[in-house]
Structure 1
Amino acid sequence: MTAHESVAVVVVTYNRADLLVRMLDGLAAQTHRPDLVVVVDNASTDHTAEVLAGRDDLPLHVISSPDNLGGAGGFHLGTRTAYEQGYDRIWLVDDDVVPAPDCLAVLMAADEDCLMVVREDLSGALVEKAAITFDLANPLAVRPKTASVDTTYASRAEMPERVAVENVAFEGFMTRRSVIDDVGLPDPTFFIFYDDVDFAVRARRSGRTIWALRDAVLVRQLDFNQQHDLSGWKGYYMYRNLFVVHLRYGENVLVRLKPWLIALAVVVLSPLRGGRAEASNVTRAMRDAWGMRTVPGTVQPRR
């Protein structure tokens, strides 16, 4: 079944032209050549356009957005484009990773609807953060990710060939179009953060298992730093989108109430932590998350 399937790669980039060069070099070196590479340029102001104009070694389809759509908007647009052009599989990757030469071949050889790569850093250390357990049933789990690949296994060599995971990053995730038929496209309203988690939850609730493949390797070019200033603009999206996932998919009333309790706790403790800025972020995040508590109809693909 896998031998004849077509595959489109979707890359979202924003002002990281030098990293994008390495990423595209990695795609060009794949032993399994992609049928299409959709690059969504999120209104970059560096030399990204020049980099893309010079790549005649890849089947590029460049979408130059006049506005920064965020990672979520970029992956929605790129995935929709690949889906509407009829590709069987869609591989979502970021601009700061480089795939091992056989990465795409390993993915395409697996007859599964949802797949995740395994990420290493430049030193070869395992840095795969995909959750093995993403708990939306326990209201006492402050963070739903209670176990990840890199907290469960000391190295990639210690992993089994396949590991079932419950969330993903759009940094090496592959889906078949049949999944999009059933659950829709990535949700662009997240802007950044948790759009990949949202899609993974929808995919799993449609009956799919997401498999992380030990031998499908992506190398991250930057340090893996998920710490963000919760009083800054990214903090707003971190809070809002975490709350949205709980409101949409919490498995009981107490879990769906958890965002309200977190927001209250942050406001009460704000004099000791992020001050007024974080309190303002979390209050606005809770208000806006409530308005996003259902998956928008606009994520349904045009067939």
Structure 2
Amino acid sequence: MGSSLVYVIVLNFNGLKHLKYCIPNVLEGTYENFRVLLVDNGSTDNSLEFAKKFRQVEVIENNENLGFSGGVNVGIKRALLQGADFIALLNNDSMVEKQWIEKALRVFAGDDKIGLVGCDLNPLADKDFNPHGAIVKGSIEQFKKVLRQNRPLRFNVLEEGILSGSGLFVKREVFEKAGLFDPVYFLYDEELDFETRARRAGFKLVQTNISNFHQGSGITENKAWKRKASYLQIRNNIRCSIKNFGVIRTARLALSVINNALNPFKKVDRSLNYFDRLRYSDNVLLNVPIVLKALLWNLVFLPSTLAAKNRDRKIIEIGSRKKRVLCISHSAYDPLNRILFIELAKFPDWDVSVIVPTRWHTASAEKTEEINLRERNEAKMVLGNTVFTNHMHLHFYSKPFLLNITHSKPDIIFLQEEPGSMVALQAFVVSLLSGAKLVFHTNENLVEKRRWLIFRLIERLVFSRASSAFILNTECEKILRKKGFIKKASLLYLGIDNSLYSKKRSPDFKKSLGLRHFTIGFGGRLTKEKGLLTLVDAASTLDFEFNILVVGKGPFEKDFLDYAEKKKIRDRIVVTNASLEEVSKYLNCMDVVVLPSESTSVWKEQFGRILLGGMAVEVPVIGSSSGAIPEIIGDAGLVFKEGKPSDLARKLTAIKNDQKLAASLVARGKERLKKEFLWPGIALKLKNELTEVLIEPE
């Protein structure tokens, strides 16, 4: 487990005096592959400024105090999306021994069923603090001396009882199969609730002697806080019992609380079974008003507590088997767009079904063909007859087909369609009838000014039902926010199949095409908005020999060539078309790939997949400033102002004359492609995001 990625999540709220010891201590850890993530719950004491001084610490700022559960959930979700294998939860007032991570991983390595490992929590005494709540120097030195001791590792499996939430190591699979912490608790009993679910999901809890010193506040809390803490302890303990331990134990617990409140001078009976009595500290306030308030809250929110209980059961049930995802995508008719689902289906714990129209006309699929991916993977392609075929917003599937899909009982629906469409309405209905969660993927980066009322209404329904959204580029999120979508929106780029694109130069093939000079390449559908006239204008002003290779077809081909004839460069242009398997061969004939798209009132570039092809075959890329092009290129190419031939000409000249610049762009393109645009990585991100939706507390 030496290569396992460990995320240490430190939760903080106005804990500057503690962080001064905690963060440096954690960073002294000897394990190599760990990251520190500080989640701040709206501090006002300069905690953030202090934490940001450490470049090794990633900081997440919450706008409010979300409590323990809500705060750590934010960090846990970030860590899971970043690929964490293990997550260690730590309070801001903790200090640990240097090899604490290595020791915990040794425990996990001993048994695959171990899901949680707890540290030995040792509170400091009042004498260790000065009147201002800071730890006195002598105590710090003594404390560090204890931490430096390399004690033999000891541990035991807990058959009952709980591990402290501070210094708690959790295996990734626990969150994926048992869910996150319940944010309703805010404070107290969140560990009991979470760890009970972990046990039910089949995981073992292990207590160790790994040192974790708990600084504490050093100052007695005021009466107002004591009343609030007492209320939360009583309220949450009853709620936790309702969720996890049944009616009889909950009734016994409630009676015990009432009895202790009515008899404040009677010593509390602590001989009862651990789960049959109230878990509280000796100084908790058990007066009648606090108890009545806690009981009333649980009565009022009983329906939501029971709903949470059913949600937890469903999360555990889903975690015990393959997760069923139903993907709805007309674009999956195109082989290029099926690869995402092929890669998603490769994960062993996912059952992927894809609904795709029997017939659909796309640029790379000219005729109806049978779709069957079973020969390549486990993704199931489900062909369905559509009404209003080839109309993106109007098309929908026939009724018998829809009912059949509903009966398949998906856990989550991934709608790769615009939310304001007829097929989106069908996805909404299937989600309601089956109880499946719903997410959608949007490419829309312009607000449609004239949309039918029915589409706007459907969009609102989908927004209300959807757990989150995926966006093709950052402009899409701006459009979603303008339309009123307030939930999470995550980037999900298109990708490229690395097996189809590679650097394989063929001078003979290039010559056979009549390309003798520096070759400027374009690939895609030939339409006016693709900026082909701007390319001609720019090329006609170049002061060096060149050729233009255009790979694609479309309605604007004749106008493009007529304009090139007018500019007297027609003889330098080669126009051809290529199958999916042949595109790489043509890209290898290019010295630069150009995407000169130009925005209109109803369209601007949403992605620019040809740019990825250029990066894959190690050719420099140039794109216009239209839509998402600058975002896709990043620092791996040059961007010119759309519709400005002179700017494009300067960029072409720079790449032609500066070999170092061209080589630098190629190197950055390879790195950017590997990081952002390979299908396996995109599928992994989709899997992690869908998992987050499935385990997210509602």
Q: Normalized against structure 2, the TM-score is what?
A: 0.35
1:162-181 counterparts in 2 under 5 A? 162-165=155-158, 166-181=161-176
- Output aligned runs, 1:96-107, within 5 Å: 96-107=93-104
Contact 2:9-2:90 within 8 A present in 1 as well: yes
Deviation at 1:63, TM superposition (A): 1.0
Q: Which secondary structure state, in structure 1, belongs to the residue aligned with residue 693 of structure 2?
A: coil
Does the 8 A contact of 2:52 with 2:59 survive in 1? no
How many angstroms does 1:258 deviate by? Answer: 2.4
Query: Within 5 Å, which residues of 2 pair with 1:60-139?
Result: 60-110=57-107, 111=109, 112-122=114-124
| Max Rg structure | 2
2:230 to 211, 229, 235: 235
The structural deviation recorded for 1:259 is 3.8
8 Å CA contact retained: 1:16, 1:46: yes
Task: Show CA shifts across 1:237-295 (max 9, x none).
Answer: 10111112211121x54213224323543564479975453244333343256342434
Residue of structure 1 equivalent to 2:305: 292
More off after superposition, 278-287 vs 96-105: 278-287
Match of residue 139 from structure 1: none
Q: How does 1:184-199 map to 2 (within 5 A)?
A: 184-199=179-194
Give runs of aligned pairs for residues 32-71 of structure 1, distance below 5 A: 32-56=31-55, 58=56, 60-71=57-68
Displacement of 1:28 = 0.8
Change (3 A) 1:30 1:271: closer
Q: Deviations over 1:206-248 (max 9, x none)?
A: 121111122x211111279999979711122101111122111
The answer to whether the 8 Å contact 2:182/2:190 transfers is yes
Q: Per the alignment, in what secondary structure is the counterpart of residue 185 of structure 1?
A: coil
Does the Cα contact within 8 Å between 2:38 and 2:59 map onto a contact in 1?
A: yes
Q: Is the 8 A contact 2:15 2:47 kept in 1?
A: yes
Distance in structure 2 (CA, Å) of the matches to 1:37 and 1:289: 36
Q: How does 1:120-269 map to 2 (within 5 A)?
A: 120-122=122-124, 161-165=154-158, 166-214=161-209, 216-222=210-216, 232-250=227-245, 253-265=247-259, 268-269=262-263
In structure 2, the CA distance between the partners of 1:26 and 1:33, relative to structure 1 (3 Å rule), is: farther
Cα shift readout 1:29-51 (whole Å, capped 9, x = no counterpart):
00114532121100001010211
Quote the Cα distance in structure 2 between the aligned partners of 1:205 and 1:108.
Answer: 22
How far apart, in 1, do the equivalents of 2:71 and 2:79 lie?
12
- Within 5 Å, which residues of 2 pair with 1:2-17? 2-17=1-16
Deviations 1:79-111 (A, max 9, x none): 111112221101111000101111112112222
Name the CA shift for 1:279/1:210 in 2 (closer, same or farther; >3 Å). Answer: closer
The answer on whether the counterparts of 2:261 and 2:286 sit within 8 Å (CA) in structure 1 is: no
Segment drifting more, 231-240 vs 254-263: 254-263
- Paired residues of 1:231 and 1:281 also in contact (CA < 8 A): no
Deviations along 1:145-180, one digit per CA (max 9) or x if unpaired, are xxxxxxxxxxxx999811223312210111111111
TM-score (norm 1): 0.77
Equivalent pairs counted in the alignment come to 265
SS of residue matched to 1:71: helix
Q: Is the 8 A contact 1:228 1:234 kept in 2?
A: no
Larger CA deviation: 6-15 vs 274-283: 274-283
Contact 1:41 1:62 survives alignment (8 Å)? yes
User: Does the CA contact (< 8 Å) of 1:231 and 1:277 recur in 2?
Assistant: no
CA–CA separation in structure 1 for the residues paired with 2:151 and 2:297: 40
User: Are 1:241 and 1:289, in contact at CA under 8 Å, matched by a contact in 2?
Assistant: no
**Residues 23 and 96 in structure 1, CA contact (< 8 A), matched pair in contact too:** yes
Task: Name the structure 1 match of 2:693.
Answer: 302
Question: More relative contact order in 1 or in 2 (CA 8 Å, sep 6+)?
Answer: 1
- CA change 1:212–1:263 in 2 (3 A) is closer
Residues 1:275 and 1:263: Cα distance change in structure 2 (over 3 Å): closer
Deviations 1:179-214 (A, max 9, x none): 111101111111111111111111111121111122
What runs of 5+ residues in structure 1 fail to find an aligned partner?
124-156
Contact conserved, 2:155 with 2:206, CA < 8 A, in 1?
A: yes
Whole-angstrom CA distance in 2 between matches of 1:3 and 1:106: 11
CA RMSD of aligned residues (A): 3.2
Q: Secondary structure at the match of 1:113?
A: strand
Residues 106-163 of structure 1, C-alpha deviations (whole Å, 9 max, x = no match): 112222421111122447xxxxxxxxxxxxxxxxxxxxxxxxxxxxxxxxx9998112
Residues 236, 34 of structure 1: alpha-carbon distance in 2 compared, 3 angstrom cutoff: farther
Q: Which amino acid aligns with 1:292?
A: T
d(CA) in 1 for partners of 2:220, 2:73: 22
> Quick check: 2:231–2:291 contact (8 Å CA) kept in 1?
no
CA contact (8 A) 1:114 1:176 kept: yes
2:87–2:171 Cα contact (<8 Å) kept: yes
Residue of 261, 271, 294 corresponding to 1:282: 294
CA contact (8 A) 1:82 1:90 kept: yes
Distance 1:44 1:223 in 2: 16
| Distance change >3 Å, CA 79–CA 288, structure 1 → 2 | farther
Residue of structure 2 in register with 1:133 after alignment: none
Q: Using a 3 Å threshold, how does the CA distance of structure 1 residues 159 and 104 change in structure 2: closer, same or farther?
A: closer
Q: Is the Cα contact below 8 Å between 1:244 and 1:289 reproduced in 2?
A: no
CA contact (8 A) 1:204 1:210 kept: yes
Q: Give % identity.
A: 19
Q: Does the Cα contact within 8 Å between 1:263 and 1:283 map onto a contact in 2?
A: no
Could you tell which deviates more after superposition, 71-80 or 287-296? 287-296
